[in-house]
Amino acid sequence: MPGKRVRKAPFKACRNCHMLVPPEATRCPNCGSTDLTEDWKGVIIVIDPESSTLAKKLKIERPGRYAVLVS
């Protein structure tokens, strides 16, 4: 599709809590960590952390968009 380009990493992920943040962000809005990386894989959208086993496994406590794997 002309004019529409898919970038490799439209988000950065927080190494501490896995939350996905905008590429221009320097600090995680969720946990306040500045340890952000573009090296992550998989997206999980958490709507209800209480009823998501993956959210529990990743220790996600708040609804949002997270990376499954962060290296």
Q: Does 16 bind Zn ion (CB under 5 A)?
A: yes
CB of 55 to Zn ion, least distance (A): 14
Q: Does 52 bind Zn ion (CB under 5 A)?
A: no
Q: Does 17 bind Zn ion (CB under 5 A)?
A: yes
CB of 14 to Zn ion, least distance (A): 3
19 to 48: interface string for Zn ion, x by CB under 5 A: x--------x-xx-x---------------
Please report the sign of the dihedral spanned by the C-alpha atoms of residue 62, residue 63, residue 66, residue 69.
positive
Q: Which is nearer to Zn ion, 30 or 46 (CB)?
A: 30
What is the Cα–Cα distance from 60 to 43, expressed in whole angstroms? Answer: 13
